[in-house]
Amino acid sequence: MKNLLLNRLFLRCTSEWLAFGCALFPQCILKTAFLAIVFLLISQNTDASAGLRIISLAPDLTEIVYALGLEEHLVGVSDYSDFPADAQTKPSVGSFIAPNLEKILLLNPSVVLTELNATPSQITQALQTRKISVLSFQARTESDIYETLRTLGQKFNKEKKASQLISSMQKSFKEAFLKTQKQSSQKPSVLVQIEEIPLMVAGKNTLIDRAIVLAGGENAARKYTGYPKLQREVLLKLKPDIVILPETKGQEQKLKRMSEAWEKNKTPVVILSGDLLTRATPRFCEGVQILVGLLAHSKTP
């Protein structure tokens, strides 16, 4: 009888413990699943920047890396990456059209940023063969700038910053548009001369051409594509209302000669920071705004 009572007590206790365990089991599963999801999300967020080593092969891409707050991961840049000033402290791997593959590999990058159709294909292929990610971007319009910001923002968990920069740019362009609407319907003819020898200007399908259009002007060299080299006789026949000379450090004497050549032809000349018109970065807005003001004063009543 005593053994029977003990067996019943044991069975009852066992069944109660099992029932208690079953009641807790779903809660344990939920807690475990929740913790697993949190851990997974944290892992994904950190993986995007863990071990991230970026090399930029264009000055405008270098500037965008800084604009997004990714500079701590920037291990190498191309020549002329001078904005912001801190970019000049980064190791250079050569120009964007002739980068040094050996220097790039020595910096052990995980991602290399290039401008579309600028970096030689043999360089990009060599990087991809070594399992190094290569991201290429176009730089002809403000939409290209948005796309670069958006892509890098998504890839490196900087979506919020990218969105803020894009919104700010869109607001700036809207303000520029409203200013041009208040001005005369006559569009001034604008010529942007890039080089003295050979004579090189900015034609259509360039960021400079887009700046002229956004500022309410008309590109005097719109019949040409890219950056054509023209004879002086052909250049003068374009008869621009105003000539813009992009300023480059160390080129003061060249700019002076170019300016004097146009002034002899009684054509107004303005020297403007080249970075603001030629680099596909958020600062492009600043260049457009300045151009709006210049064109407003160049229009004939």
3-class DSSP state for residue 279?
Answer: coil
- Decide if 109 contacts 87 (C-beta within 8 A): no
Summarize pLDDT for 1-51 with one digit per residue, the tens. 444 444 444 445 444 544 544 454 455 444 444 444 434 444 444 445 668
pLDDT of residue 165: 98
In whole numbers, what is the pLDDT of the chain averaged over residues? Answer: 86
Domain with CATH 3.40.50.1980 in the chain: 54-137, 180-298
Q: What is the pLDDT of residue 5?
A: 42
Topology classification of domain 54-137: Rossmann fold (3.40.50)
Which comes out higher in pLDDT, residue 230 or 47? 230
CA distance 230 to 191: 13
- CA atoms 204, 208, 210, 212: torsion sign: negative
- pLDDT, residue 10, reads 44
Residue 201 has pLDDT above 90, yes or no: yes
Whether the predicted pLDDT of 69 surpasses 60: yes
The residue with greater pLDDT, 43 or 75, is 75
**Angle of helix 59-67 relative to helix 142-155, nearest 10 degrees?**
50
Q: Residue range 223-239: average pLDDT?
A: 94
pLDDT for res 43 = 45
Q: Once rounded to an integer, what is the mean pLDDT over residues 79-105? A: 95
pLDDT value of position 251: 84
Query: How many whole angstroms separate alpha carbon 26 and alpha carbon 14?
Result: 19
Three-state secondary structure of 126-146? HHHHCCCEEEEECCCCHHHHH
Residue 201 φ then ψ, to 5°: -125, 170
- Least confident interval from 98-102, 166-170, 182-186: 182-186
pTM of the model: 0.81
Residue 106, pLDDT score: 97
Please give the pLDDT value at position 181.
84
The hierarchical CATH code for the domain 180-298 is 3.40.50.1980
